[in-house]
Structure 1
Amino acid sequence: MARFGRTSRYRMTRSVLRRHCILLVQRAGAGLSGSPRNRSSVSNDDNGGGAGWRSASSKLLEGGATALGSVFVLGLAGYTYHWYYKSLVLRKMENAFAPGYSSLELAALGRQPALADPHSRSDVGNVEDDDWIPRTEQAIIDDIVDGSTQGQYHLVTGEKGTGKTSMLLKAMKKIDGDGIAMLEAHPDLEIFRVRLGKALDYEFHEDYIGSLFSFKGPRDTTPLLDIERAFNKMEKIALKRQEKAGKPLVLIINGIHLLQDDEGGRHLLELIQQRAELWAASSLVNVVLNSDEYWITERLMMRATRLRVLPVRDIPKGPAIAALRSFRYAAFQEDVSTDILGQVYDKVGGRLRFLSQIAKSPNMIDACDSICEKEKRWFLSQCWILGKEMDSNAEGQQEFCAAAMVIAKALVEREEAMGEDEKRDGRLPQIPLHEARQIVTRADFIQHHDHLNIVTIDPHSMMVQADSVAMQNAFREVCGQDGFEEHLQATIDRLDELESLGRTRELTIKDLWGNGAYRAVVERQEGRQNTVVSLRAIPPKADKAQA
């Protein structure tokens, strides 16, 4: 019985193990086939293996199809984003040229209305600076801004305060800013880039699919490249406008002279000029540059073919006196005599910013004297000379100041040689640019004097004159002081002395013991211009014996 029991238990164990093995094989077959049918049919080994390979191939095809579908969806999304981004950029830039104004233009145009009551003194300060003075250049600027003038780009130049910006803003206001973008120049190219983007409503984002998933990081390009990309976008808007309206866009860059006269500033100016030349040839964009200094004109003229220079000068004597008389009568009920108005013009000329101050002042003669005194103080603070007691460290600055005094003295002498008719007409004495450079013996000083509003250079005739009538009066008063010529000559002599000392080399010999000395022998070799100086030490005893 014991043996039979052990045999029975052994057979039962084998049966259990067999069932476990069958279950393991079924589960393995189910893992290969993935279907309930294959899990139940594990007796046929050949059929189970074929079903497993077919299942692996189907999974591989399913995974590949999923990957390809994902790539397709991702590419479609990227292309859709790319198309949407480009259209959005163009729509935003197109809105920038729509009727209306940007925040900068609104700030510039947000001036008070004209006199509500011409007989009320309380409203005098609300009069626009140049509404009461007729300008012949206004019609030309109106045609440029509204797109009637095509095929050129324009440089509006003139002295500070002649009304250039005011006329541009007035022309913009007449057409409600339609098709116009305006920005202020800046010496820093990064700030210029930001201001251009604000004027064009362009944010300089890269046109690539990575922007779909992440924000753009710090720029890895230069400002010039971003400006070039902005101009590329603007060309597309200009093409649409030319097809629809038949007029070009207008891009106004105010204060272009604020660019630095260095490598970066010159590269930016060349970039703007290249675009302006191309746009003028195709009548796509009217580029208007507003400048107060001559160096911009000189730089642009070297490569210009379609450039039109529009000088804005002081108002002639007749229109200025008539407008001033009308304004004083309307605002103050004052009938000013012709003699007083002539005195006003003789003191400040036809400079618009001066006439605006004087017209609103209760006492016009006192206002003229105040303006002349300010111009004189400015001239002296920037260019006064120090005389023979000048310190050697001031040599460079005093060369600039002495040049300013020399050119001022030359202009005063030219004024004395002018006729009375020319003086009464308000014309200022002028010197050709090449002669002015010869007088100051430096070619670069005149440009710096122009930068400080001491003198100005006419871009058409290349003539140098005082920056204004008030500045010419300051020249006359300074040069007429007692002892001025002697003081100027002493300064020039001192500068020559410092320059000579700068070219002189001093030789110091040390280490003389006792009563020792050196003997210098100067020799000039025949046939040569070089002089040889030889030094020889003399012992103390030999020196005494020779003595």
Structure 2
Amino acid sequence: MSTFRSLPKLSTFTSTPCTYRPGFQRLLVHPTTGSTLIQQRHASVQQPPGPNLPGPPDDPNDDPKRQGSNANQDSWRSTAYKMAESALTTGASVAILGLVGYGYTRYYKHMVLKKMENAFEPGDPVLDLAATSKLGSATGGSVLVDEDKNREHWVLREEQSKLDAIVNGQIRGQYHLLVGEKGTGKSSMLIDAMAKIDGEGVAMFDAHADPEIVRIRLGKALDFEYHEDNIGSLFSIRGPRDASALLDIERAFNKLEKVALRRRDKVGRPLILIINSMHLLRDDAAGKDLLELLQQRAEQWAASNLATVIFNSDDYWVYERLKQYATRMNVIRILDLNKSKAIDALRNYRQRYRNEHPSPSLLEQVYDKVGGRMSYIGRVAKSSDMLSAADAICAMEKTWFLNQCWILGEDMDDDVMNQQKYASAAMVLAKALVDKEKEMPSCYHPTEGHILPQIPLHEARQIMTRADFIQSYDAINLFTIDSRAMVRADSVPMMNAFREICAQEGFEELLQDTLDRISAIESLQRTRELTVKDLWAGGKFKIKMLDVKGKENGSLVVAVASEEEGGKGDQWATSGVE
């Protein structure tokens, strides 16, 4: 076989059957010169038929089996490389996403605590609202501070210094319950104590009957969003609204604990959390659960000096509920002003804002009508005619009592029996207080003023013959129950209304008729009437009496009485008792 430096075109060669090697090579012969050329062919190309050349292949790599093995190895290497590349890309993406998520979570939690710390910085929305509502005006309104930027007071109460010490952190290791009637000045004294320290370290909010609203108000006071602004909601992470209000409040308290720990280490004073209007909570399962949660936190924080919780309530039932589990609770009674302080408050207001100098007799008349209730004193002091304003307050209280609890007498319908039970019980208790006042040696002190008659709670329930009504009376401000479980009229105007109503002509007879009618209706409801018919023309009924074992123990025959026996034909009589 010769070698050519310049080979002819491949088309000039012809294939001879004798030189054909199946599978990979083919021998080409030039028809004129006899030159030969070996053409390489791929194994996948279909070969023409021809005899196989004997002997092993010219190149070991040309072995079909080995080439198939090499191709498989190259395929697995390529697949493994691609898998590794995809795995590394996915891992890197997940790692970056995880780092970003972790970093965002740490940053978000840091900002949550930072916002809550800012909520206890100087300045408070409650103080801003109080200043807005008490700005001086041409109509004679009061101002929040005087010329020296100090809180002004019509009268300085004894409880104010104690509340100041609690709010500024001097008194620790307890939580406190303020108990007093509506309008005695509990909230005003707390705002005064906050204003003296500019709200630093203090948060205050009002309770509500709905725990969801309590949750929102607590979040506003603490500047806590309950993770509602978390970006995790974009990834379908379970949001806070899948939980209940109590769970959200618990989460807010967990964050508050962390802030309180930092503050205790940094400042050395506990945080102050004031919950106003606790009596607005419902006395049901949800309200009791919320109250229990608040008390548990108050106990824990008082024991560790982390925070001091102050509850403010108008009703007795909150105290009764808290007392059941209280170990560190301190009860502060907020009562009406005595006579001297009430008259001083009236005089100071009239002199400063109206430039008037009322006579002592006029001030005493006003006090005799409205007593020392701060809300009533403020309303009367701002009026042009103080006596007319005092009379209007007394008339309003009397109308409120009559609208809630007036009795209907003997002619009342049986459908209103339940309401009349409620009303008559209140009237019975009011009459008992009036009678108690008559037995007192004195109901008016020259310097202390009015001394309202009071009855222990258990005796009041015995007088009413009902134990469940007194709490609702306290809620609608007819009677009040103090922390010593003593029942009395809610205010001096309400006691004046009791006296006027009980002194009306025919009141006792009307009350007795109402009670008799209620007893008669209850008796009818408890009585079962048996009517026997078809006894005419000599008809009879025989009634058998059985003992507890079912054995006959006698019988009774019912028949119509004859005229000879004294009957009139439409009566029945019994006979033949065995």
Structure having the higher Rg: 2
Query: How far, CA to CA, are the matches of 1:147 and 1:535 in structure 2?
Result: 86
Contact 1:186 1:258 in 2 (8 A): yes
Query: Residue 425 of structure 2 aligns with which residue?
Result: 403
Match 2:94 to one of 71, 77, 80: 71
* 2:119 aligned with 1:96: yes
Query: How far, CA to CA, are the matches of 1:313 and 1:535 in structure 2?
Result: 71
Kindly indicate whether structure 1 or structure 2 has the higher relative contact order, using CA contacts under 8 Å at least 6 residues apart.
1
Distance 1:372 1:518, change over 3 A: farther
What pairs with 1:141-152 in structure 2 (closer than 5 Å)?
A: 141-152=163-174
Distance 1:332 1:58, change over 3 A: closer
Distance 1:243 1:394, change over 3 A: same
Query: Residue 252 of structure 1: SS of its match in structure 2?
Result: strand
Q: In the alignment, residue 477 of structure 1 is paired with which amino acid?
A: E
Query: Residue 462 of structure 1 aligns with which residue?
Result: 485
Query: Residue 172 of structure 1 aligns with which residue?
Result: 194
User: Cα offset for 1:224?
Assistant: 1.1
Q: Deviations over 1:498-547 (max 9, x none)?
A: 1111111234567x49757553658596999x998867799xxxx99x99
* 2:313 aligned with 1:291: yes
Query: Residue 326 of structure 2 aligns with which residue?
Result: 304
Q: Deviations over 1:275-334 (max 9, x none)?
A: 100000011111111100000000001110110111111001111112222322333333
Contact 2:205 2:274 in 1 (8 A): yes
User: How much is the aligned-residue C-alpha RMSD, in angstroms?
Assistant: 3.7
Query: How far, CA to CA, are the matches of 2:235 and 2:186 in structure 1?
Result: 48
Query: Residue 503 of structure 2 aligns with which residue?
Result: 480
User: Cα offset for 1:406?
Assistant: 0.7
TM-score by length of 2: 0.80
* 2:219 aligned with 1:197: yes
Query: Residue 110 of structure 1: SS of its match in structure 2?
Result: helix
Q: In the alignment, residue 197 of structure 2 is paired with which amino acid?
A: I
Query: Residue 576 of structure 2 aligns with which residue?
Result: none
Distance 1:379 1:81, change over 3 A: same
* 2:296 aligned with 1:274: yes
Query: Residue 49 of structure 2 aligns with which residue?
Result: none
Q: In the alignment, residue 150 of structure 1 is paired with which amino acid?
A: R
Query: How far, CA to CA, are the matches of 1:519 and 1:371 in structure 2?
Result: 69
Query: Residue 29 of structure 1 aligns with which residue?
Result: none
User: Cα offset for 1:226?
Assistant: 1.2
Query: How far, CA to CA, are the matches of 1:313 and 1:152 in structure 2?
Result: 22
Query: Residue 35 of structure 1 aligns with which residue?
Result: none
More helix by share: 1
Distance 1:276 1:21, change over 3 A: farther
Contact 2:131 2:143 in 1 (8 A): no
Distance 1:535 1:269, change over 3 A: farther
Stretch moving more, 194-203 or 231-240: 194-203
Query: How far, CA to CA, are the matches of 2:554 and 2:204 in structure 1?
Result: 69
Distance 1:191 1:517, change over 3 A: farther
Q: In the alignment, residue 352 of structure 1 is paired with which amino acid?
A: M
Q: Deviations over 1:21-75 (max 9, x none)?
A: 73979xxxxxxxxxxxxxxx99982555443333333223222322332332232
Query: Residue 359 of structure 1 aligns with which residue?
Result: 381
Contact 1:158 1:291 in 2 (8 A): yes
Query: How far, CA to CA, are the matches of 2:393 and 2:178 in structure 1?
Result: 26
Distance 1:164 1:48, change over 3 A: same
User: Cα offset for 1:267?
Assistant: 0.7
Contact 1:159 1:293 in 2 (8 A): yes
Query: Residue 42 of structure 2 aligns with which residue?
Result: 22
Q: Deviations over 1:399-449 (max 9, x none)?
A: 111111111111111111223364552111111111111111111111111
User: Cα offset for 1:183?
Assistant: 1.3
* 2:369 aligned with 1:347: yes
What pairs with 1:386-465 in structure 2 (closer than 5 Å)?
A: 386-420=408-442, 422=444, 424=446, 425-459=449-483, 461-465=484-488
Q: In the alignment, residue 475 of structure 1 is paired with which amino acid?
A: F
Query: How far, CA to CA, are the matches of 1:327 and 1:464 in structure 2?
Result: 32
Contact 1:130 1:356 in 2 (8 A): no
Query: How far, CA to CA, are the matches of 2:247 and 2:554 in structure 1?
Result: 60
Stretch moving more, 477-486 or 341-350: 341-350
Query: How far, CA to CA, are the matches of 2:124 and 2:25 in structure 1?
Result: 91
Q: In the alignment, residue 444 of structure 1 is paired with which amino acid?
A: D
Query: Residue 178 of structure 2: SS of its match in structure 1?
Result: strand
User: Cα offset for 1:85?
Assistant: 2.1
Query: Residue 349 of structure 2: SS of its match in structure 1?
Result: helix
Query: Residue 36 of structure 1 aligns with which residue?
Result: none
Aligned pairs, number: 513
Structure 2 residue runs of 5 or longer lacking an equivalent are 1-10, 27-38, 46-61, 145-150, 561-566, 574-578
Identity fraction in percent: 51
TM-score by length of 1: 0.84
Match 2:521 to one of 474, 495, 498: 498
User: Cα offset for 1:232?
Assistant: 0.6
Structure 1 residue runs of 5 or longer lacking an equivalent are 26-40, 116-121
Stretch moving more, 468-477 or 390-399: 390-399
